[in-house]
């Protein structure tokens, strides 16, 4: 991680809090609390910030230990289930072989059962019932095995992500120590690129997933209506929302009052801001290059929220090659740098933006 490109770390807190909300547990809660401490310590001195980051590393390592224990337990259960399934398959195979012998037209039925043909037929029926029961039991075991294997894979993925996040935190802490030793200004805990990578590492890859992490509520009250667009541009329908090509560096303004649920990076969308306009009703703005508010901040109608990127990616790359150390926004996917993407949601379900916004008739998406 390059120590020369840092941006505020408020997004990290939201990401860890989202992880805890999605899968609450001891280590997730510990990491979320430690991440809050890192964010709160941003304005403090070196010792305070290092202590907060050390606590975060300890929480991450504790999470790694808990995940290793869980993996061991799941591995043992998987082995037990696999053994039981193999035994059930063997029992079923033996019974099926017996049924095949009973169905052999060339075999004298009295020889297949000591009490004669009728007893042999009854035995065949009972054996068929047993086979059906064993098949159902085998199917249940197989489903349980699939479930445990899925849990084990999820735990392995979580362990790998947590390992990467722990390394990222340790690198950020070392960069802070190096900056202090060299007399340079202390960097923020995480830069824009690593924060975006952490968003991806936590499994948040789209606005729907982000909304689920934020915990949607049941909508209450009347839905917003006749809102002004956040930028002066012609909206174009795209996916569940609208794209608006407003130009590089365009100021994005709040169309209504509310508060910020999330402000930070999201893979494929650069920086994202999610504003709750009313309980359960959110406005998501994606493609920002810079945000001016943080999670929890109140929002007033018309308030500046942030800006689209200042220049095309090629121009920014050229600037950086000439020594410009301004942090470049994390970019991925196909969202152009001069374009804002907007979605409106009720309880994290897409709502038609045309119902909320008062775009002129000739400017509405067709």
Give the tens place of pLDDT for each residue, 239-296.
888 999 999 999 999 999 998 887 877 767 778 888 988 888 889 999 998 888 877 7
Stretch 218-224: mean pLDDT? 70
Q: Assess contact for 95 and 134: CB atoms under 8 A.
A: yes
Distance of CA 1 to the CA centre of its chain: 22
- Give residue 104's pLDDT: 52
**How far is 206 from 208, CA to CA, in rounded Å?**
5
Q: Assess contact for 301 and 246: CB atoms under 8 A.
A: no
11 versus 232: the higher-pLDDT residue is 232
Stretch 107-130: mean pLDDT? 54
What residue ranges define each of the domains in the chain, with the CATH number in brackets? 1-203 (no CATH), 207-363 (2.70.70.10)
Q: Assess contact for 39 and 9: CB atoms under 8 A.
A: yes
Give 319-322's long-range contacts (Cβ < 8 A, gap of 24+). Answer: none
90 versus 130: the higher-pLDDT residue is 90
pLDDT exceeds cutoff 60 at 321: no
**How far is 197 from 215, CA to CA, in rounded Å?**
22
pLDDT exceeds cutoff 70 at 214: no
- Give residue 138's pLDDT: 75
- Give residue 108's pLDDT: 47
Where is average pLDDT lowest: 170-179, 197-206, 251-260?
A: 197-206
pLDDT exceeds cutoff 70 at 235: yes
- Give residue 301's pLDDT: 93
- pLDDT tier at 315, thresholds 50, 70, 90: very low
Give the tens place of pLDDT for each residue, 147-174.
888 888 877 877 787 787 788 778 878 8
**How far is 2 from 329, CA to CA, in rounded Å?**
15
- pLDDT tier at 320, thresholds 50, 70, 90: very low
- Supply φ then ψ for residue 236, to 5 degrees: -125, 125
Residue 70 token pair: 């869980």
- Supply φ then ψ for residue 202, to 5 degrees: -85, 5
- Give residue 365's pLDDT: 57
- Give residue 47's pLDDT: 82
């Amino acid at each position: 991680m390059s120590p020369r490109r840092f941006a505020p770390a408020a997004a990290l807190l939201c990401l860890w809090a989202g992880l805890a909300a999605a899968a609450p547990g001891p280590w997730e809660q510990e990491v979320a609390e430690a991440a809050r401490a890192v964010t709160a310590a941003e304005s403090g001195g070196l010792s305070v910030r290092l202590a907060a980051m050390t606590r975060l590393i300890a929480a991450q390592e504790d999470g790694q230990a808990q995940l290793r224990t869980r993996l061991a337990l799941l591995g043992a259960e998987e082995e037990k289930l696999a053994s039981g399934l193999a035994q059930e398959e063997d029992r079923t195979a033996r019974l099926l072989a017996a049924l095949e012998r009973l169905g052999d037209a060339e075999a004298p039925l009295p020889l297949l059962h000591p009490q004669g043909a009728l007893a042999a037929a009854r035995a065949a029926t009972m054996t068929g019932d047993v086979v059906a029961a064993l098949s159902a039991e085998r199917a249940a075991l197989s489903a349980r095995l699939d479930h445990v294997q899925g849990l084990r894979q999820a735990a392995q993925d979580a362990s790998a992500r947590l390992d990467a996040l722990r390394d990222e935190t340790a690198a950020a802490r070392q960069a802070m120590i190096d900056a202090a030793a060299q007399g340079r200004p202390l960097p923020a805990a995480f830069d824009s690129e690593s924060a975006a990578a952490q968003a991806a590492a936590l499994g948040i890859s789209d606005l729907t997933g982000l909304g689920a992490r934020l915990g949607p509520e049941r909508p209450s009250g009347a839905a917003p209506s006749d809102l002004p667009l956040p930028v002066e541009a012609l909206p174009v329908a795209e996916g569940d929302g609208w794209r608006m090509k407003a130009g590089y560096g365009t100021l994005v303004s709040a169309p209504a009052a509310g508060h910020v649920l999330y402000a930070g990076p999201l893979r494929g969308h650069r920086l994202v801001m999610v504003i709750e306009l009313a309980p359960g009703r959110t406005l998501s703005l994606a493609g920002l290059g810079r945000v001016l508010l943080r999670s929890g901040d109140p929002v007033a109608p018309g308030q500046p929220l942030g800006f689209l990127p200042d220049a095309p990616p090629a121009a920014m790359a050229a600037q950086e090659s000439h020594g410009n150390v301004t942090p470049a926004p994390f970019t991925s996917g196909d969202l152009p740098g001069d374009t804002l993407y907007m979605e409106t949601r009720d309880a994290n379900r897409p709502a038609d933006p045309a119902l909320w916004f008062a775009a002129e008739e000739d400017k509405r998406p067709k």
